[in-house]
Structure formats: structure tokens, C-alpha cells
Amino acid sequence: MASSIKDVATRAGISIATVSRAVNTPERVSAETLARVQAAMDALQYRPNALGRQLRAMHTGLLGVVLPSLANPVFAECMQGIEDAASVTGQRVMLMTTAYDLEREARAIETLLEQRVDGLVLTVADAAANPHLDRLDAEHVPYVLVYNDTVGQPRIPARCCVTVDNRAAARDAIRALLAQGHKQIRMLTGTLSASDRAALRHDGYREALEAAGIAPQPPVEIDFNADVMLPAELARLLAPPRPTAIFCSNDRLALLTIRSLREMGLRVPEDVSVIGFDGLAMGQWLMPTLATVAQPHRQIGEGAAQALARRIAGEVVPSITLPHRLLHGGTLARAPAAPASLSVVPSSLTSDTQGASR
Amino acid sequence: MASSIKDVATRAGISIATVSRAVNTPERVSAETLARVQAAMDALQYRPNALGRQLRAMHTGLLGVVLPSLANPVFAECMQGIEDAASVTGQRVMLMTTAYDLEREARAIETLLEQRVDGLVLTVADAAANPHLDRLDAEHVPYVLVYNDTVGQPRIPARCCVTVDNRAAARDAIRALLAQGHKQIRMLTGTLSASDRAALRHDGYREALEAAGIAPQPPVEIDFNADVMLPAELARLLAPPRPTAIFCSNDRLALLTIRSLREMGLRVPEDVSVIGFDGLAMGQWLMPTLATVAQPHRQIGEGAAQALARRIAGEVVPSITLPHRLLHGGTLARAPAAPASLSVVPSSLTSDTQGASR
DNA sequence: TTGAAAGCGCTAACAC
DNA sequence: GTGTTAGCGCTTTCAA
């Protein structure tokens, strides 16, 4: 049984109030008593009980974090940023993951609020249409969104998002492709309707192409969690007019694409250029390095924790748009004079069903 | 101000005891009062305060997690496993990261214990020589280690580790290399003294080679966090007798190695085979896929959470050794008849100091 | 089936 | 500089 303030008081032969002062405001305690308290605390291995303190104080110094999954390095890095920033100000962090499941999201928020976190950092599928956020607003719970991007959207009141400018970032990616002479640029994305930022990235894709006088092809949507590309999907991705470059809405998809292309005998970047989105550290360990639009995940997390701290303090905090950075990696090269021909239908287009059947 | 049990009681015209029962043991409350309590709770948006409950109950249902960093996908995945398992039993999870810093480790543990977590899951640099673990033992705090591997070590009492058999796993990696005709096999590792498991992997490397009648070369140690390989390190890695295969103590190092080799014109796996350790999901998205010894990170996390639950319940729980899995990826091929010659000293061996100077 | 009351560990207002 | 005491929100005896 852990010892309490009472035990310390008894042992030091003083009142609990003085022990409390010794712990929290030692300057208001005489040197002599302070020493006695110290001795007692050491002897008893006293460790203040945060629960008692928090119950009394009506706040906890706890931040609740609700993210889809740590298996995605994007969120893992962001979480690290949150933790870093929180630890600087002595806040602690409670994490719950949701796998984008609305019901788990609800439970997570509820649990965190029962624990009386001072505020929440969260990522949801679509921030403009999330019932839980409406409730948080109604209950005046301080919260900050990460990655969700409602900045351009008309909302009153606006939600505090810490994010990059997804649309502009996507435009930059496409422009980098255009600058290398690419005209046929296809987009590969996770389910558009399931992610506000994916939709925004698609907008950027369209805009950049249209500004260049090129008619964008419809994006190829594939299941967010797949770790193989189905033959049908690959076929759609390469359907005529054969693309010389592919813009993927995230790095994971980009890696998957590169692999699929190579398996069917296409060279990256000689035959097809590929650019991703996220800037996973890992992409830069590869050879060739992955061309991508890097998001400052760590800073997104840190920024969110800081913004949240201010919201908790009662400030009105606007959304924060952090700069993205185009990484001109080795998977991006000049467009080939003529698209590589696929004389033979590669095996992966016909027989790779077994690997894909999970 | 959030409403409390007292508010609900007042509004429902009953005592707080009955409200408490309505929440926790509704079967002991008459249907009629239950309805009244429900109505009051809804009207007041009542949310039970976990702090009060926990203070009273003398346990919290909180698990403390202490890990080096979530930027490392190994720990991120493990953390996801912990969270998954915890959420099944209604436990919640508080995370603190340490960057392997002993002082941060101490603070993290202290903070978590002040919050009265029921137990801890942690990874430390060297479990056999960690002062904090000794204190946890002395205070009878339930805890479980992940990745740390003291299984083979004589210790009384043994610490509960959830891990793979690092030594055997390394042996398997080397055997796979031997089976492909490799005779000159070098090992690349992070600082050996800083990691009990790296040391064990090195043991496995030595053993497997010696069993095959081959004298192992000393391992090449490089800074754990570097994201470029220094020319001097690369030179040591390739020093005669020129290796035809390289065993890296983790996947990150393996990726780095592959990149460095390719930059100097060596082909992987044609000239040099590379095998890693960890089984990062990402390694399988690459082309060629990374040969590696996969650890079941998710299950390690889940297993730890479950083991911890049992320790909290008072059981004595032995260490758990989870199976590793050899992934025979594309970066591993038959040894070349003669090692590739490096006629010219590649530029990366002489001039790449700028990239490395961070 | 319900209520009164004690107490979990702590802080802060107030009195000395 | 120190002590007394109320009370944060909750559960759980014990009585009724």
C-alpha cells in the first residue's frame, strides 16, 4: 500500500497541510520542517497521488489523443510530436486509436472525457461531417484537429486544424511533374469520401492540371488498407492514355505502386515517374529516394499540443497551416519521349490473384 | 462546469448512493428510480468522473507505457498492440517516450506512478543493468518488458520479458545466408553496449558462423540514429575480406546499407546480399522486398498487455518468447562466384562528408 | 430498495 | 510558519 500525505505528516510529527506545502511551495515552510518532511517522505517512499490532486484541482494536465492508428508512421510521428510538446509543459498524454471507426471514436472520446483530460487532439475521417465534434463544440471541450483540413471550408465557428495546405501541396506535386515534361498524370488515392484531405489533394491535382490546359483523368481509388494492388486496379491505373507519371495521395500507396510497376517490368522513374505524399522518413532511406510532398508530422503534433494548451487556457486559437516541402526524389524524372510499351501482358496483371486475396 | 453525481441525485430527488448504484449495478435499483436517474443524467449530460472513482477504488485501470520513441515503427506497432489489447479489457493507456535517456526514463516512470497506473509496459536499453527496474521490483510495481531480452540471463527473480529469441533469430538469418553459399558475412549494428538485444543478435551471428567453421569478423558499430552512413563506416563494412552478405541488426540499418551500397555502384542482391531484422511492414512494400527476420510487433504489444494484466492480478507470469519469422526477401540471393570488384573508389567513399555532417 | 455517512489523497481558505 | 477543516466525486458499508 502506497503511503499518503497523512503517513508523512504523522511520521514528521506535523499536519498534512504542511506536508502539502513542503511539496508544492517549499519556500513557505521553515527549513527545519522541510528537512523533517523530506526525511519522512524518503523513509516512506512517498509519492504524491495525482488523482487526489487532480480531483481537488478540477483539472488534470492530461491531454487525450484520438488517432486512427499508430501502425501508420504518419500518426506515430505526429504522436511523438504531441508527446514531446506535452512533456515540455508537464502535460501527460492518453492515447486511444480508432481505426477510423465512428463507434470506437465515440468510445474513445467518452473514455478520455471521463478521465477528465483537459483537452483533446484528434484526427477524424471527415472533420466537416463528424457528429462527435459537434458534441465537443456543444460541451465546450477544448480540442484541436490534426491532418483534418477544414481551413478552406465555410464553417461557423471554424474548427482549429493543424495541417498543411493539402490542396496547394498537391498542386505543387503536379507542377513538379509538369515541369519535367509529363502530360499524362494519373492520380491514385484511397477512398476519397473517407478522408477530407484526400479529397483536397485531389482538388489540387485537378486544378494544377487544368491550369496547364490538361484534362485530368478520374482518380483511381483503392482500398485504404490494401497491401497489394489488385490487377484490375493496376490496369485502371495504367489504362490509356498511358500515364508517364503517377501522383499518389500518400507514400504508402506510392511504394505499393512502385513495386507493382516494377513487378510488371516497368522501370521507375525511367518509364513512369511516381510521387507520393507524406514524406515518411523511410522514403528517404530508399534507393532511389521517393519523390514526395513532405508534411512536418512532428511539428504538426507539437503545434497541436501547443494550440491545445492555449485553447485550454481559454484563448481562441485559429487554424495553423504548416509549410509542406517538395522532396524531389529519385522516383521522379523527365517524361520519356514515348511511353514504355508493354508488349506482353505481365503475369501480375493476370495471375497475381492469390497474393491479393486476403 | 461538468455535473456531478450530486447534481444528478438532486435533480432525480434521490440520494447519491442510489445514483451510483444506478450507474454501476442497475439491477439493484427499482425500474422506476432507474428511469428517473436516466432522465436526470441525460438532462444534465452527466459523465461519471473517473478520478473520483479511481481515488476511491485504489486502482485506475490505467497502464503506463514507457518506450524509446514512436518515430521507430517497431515501437509504434508494438504500442498499437498494447492499446488494442488494453481496450479489450477496458484498460486505458498512458504513454511516455524516453529516447533511451535514463533521466527521462526515471521521470516517465515517476509520473506514471504518480498517476497511479496499475502497471507498466516498458522497453529499456539494457534490462539487466537498469536502476529503475530494480526500484520497481523493490516497490512491487507490476511491470512487463517488451523487446528487452533477459531470458537467457541468470537473474533472480527473472524479469518478465515479451520478446523473440533474439539469438536464435540471428542464427536463422545467418544460416539463410550460409545456405545461399555466402562465406564472407559481415554484421552491421547499432552500439552494442546500448542494447541488450543487439548484443544477443551479435551472439547469434557469431555462433552460426562458428558452427559453420567460419571465423566471424568483428561487427561494424554505427550510431543508432544516423540516417546516413559515413564513408569511414562504409569502408569498414566492406573492408577485406570483402563480404558478399551483410546482416544488419535492424531494418532501418538494412535500408541504409542498401542505399549506400547502391550509391557506390554495388548491386543488391547481385553483388551483395543484405538481410535485416525487425520485419517492418514497409520492407515488404519495396522492390525488391527486404529479406529480414520479422518480429511480431503487434503480438508483442498484445502479449505484454495481457501478461501485465495477469501480473496486476497477482499472478507470477513467466517471460514469453514469441516466434520470429524469416522473410526470404529479394535482397537475399546466392553468393556471387567472385565478389564484385570496385575498380574506382566511389565518390561516396571520399566526398560525402557534407551529407553526413548533421 | 433506499439513504446517511465515512473516507480515498489532496489543496486551499482561514485562523492562529 | 503551521494547523484545522471543508470538499473535489465517487463507492461502499451499515441501517432502515
> Would you write out chain A's pLDDT as a tens digit for each of its 358 residues?
799 999 999 999 999 999 999 999 999 999 999 999 999 999 999 999 999 999 999 999 999 999 999 999 999 999 999 999 999 999 999 999 999 899 999 999 999 999 999 999 999 999 999 999 999 999 999 999 999 999 877 777 789 999 999 999 999 999 999 999 999 999 999 999 889 999 999 999 999 999 999 999 999 999 877 878 999 999 999 999 999 999 999 999 999 999 999 999 999 999 999 999 999 998 988 888 999 999 999 999 999 999 999 999 999 999 999 999 999 999 999 999 876 665 444 444 433 333 333 2
CA of A291 to C1' of D14 (A): 72
Does any strand D atom come closer than 7 Å to the Cβ of B57? yes
pLDDT of residue B357: 31
Sign of CA dihedral A308, A314, A318, A322: negative
Tell me, letter by letter, the H, E, C secondary structure of A121-177: EECCCCHHHCHHHHHHHHCCCCEEEECCCCCCCCCCCCCCEEEECHHHHHHHHHHHH
Interface with A, mutate which of B83, B95, B98 (most A CBs under 10 A)? B95
Does any strand C atom come closer than 7 Å to the Cβ of B55? yes
- A103 in B contact zone (CB under 8 Å): no
For residue A237, how many other CB atoms are within 10 A of its CB?
Answer: 22
Test A83 with B97 for CB contact under 8 angstroms: yes
pLDDT digits (tens, 9 = 90+) for B143-198: 999 999 998 777 777 899 999 999 999 999 999 999 999 999 999 999 998 899 99
Interface with A, mutate which of B49, B77, B261, B285 (most A CBs under 10 A)? B285
Does any strand D atom come closer than 7 Å to the Cβ of B6? yes
User: Considering only CA atoms, which residue is closest to the C1' of nucleotide C6?
Assistant: B56
CA of B57 to C1' of D6 (A): 22
Q: What average pLDDT does this structure show over B31-47?
A: 97
pLDDT above 70 coverage of chain B, percent: 94
Contacts of B84 in chain A (CB under 8 A): 97
| Count of residues making up chain A | 358
- In angstroms, what CA-CA distances link A171 with A102, A168, A178, A276? 31, 5, 10, 12
Does any strand D atom come closer than 7 Å to the Cβ of A60? no
Q: Output the pTM of the full model.
A: 0.94
Q: Which of residues 125-184 of A touch strand C (CB under 7 A)?
A: none
- A130 in B contact zone (CB under 8 Å): no
Within 8 A by CB and 6+ apart from A281, the residues are A73, A77, B71, B227
d(CA A72, CA A294): 15
d(CA B180, CA B203): 21
- B265 in A contact zone (CB under 8 Å): no
pLDDT of residue A103: 96
The whole-angstrom distance between A92's CA and the closest CA on chain B is: 8
CA of B138 to C1' of C9 (A): 23
Does any strand D atom come closer than 7 Å to the Cβ of B4? yes
pLDDT digits (tens, 9 = 90+) for B195-250: 999 999 999 999 999 999 999 999 999 987 787 899 999 999 999 999 999 999 99
- In angstroms, what CA-CA distances link B307 with A173, A174, B10, B161, B338? 47, 50, 43, 9, 50
Higher pLDDT, residue B350 or B21: B21
User: Considering only CA atoms, which residue is closest to the C1' of nucleotide D13?
Assistant: B17
DSSP structure class, residue B109: H
- A250 in B contact zone (CB under 8 Å): no
Rg (CA), chain B: 26
Contacts of A110 in chain B (CB under 8 A): 47
d(CA A132, CA A103): 10
The whole-angstrom distance between B318's CA and the closest CA on chain A is: 24
CA of A17 to C1' of C12 (A): 9
Higher pLDDT, residue B288 or B45: B45
Give the number of A-B residue pairs with CB atoms closer than 8 Å: 134
Interface with B, mutate which of A97, A101, A115 (most B CBs under 10 A)? A115
Does any strand D atom come closer than 7 Å to the Cβ of B5? yes
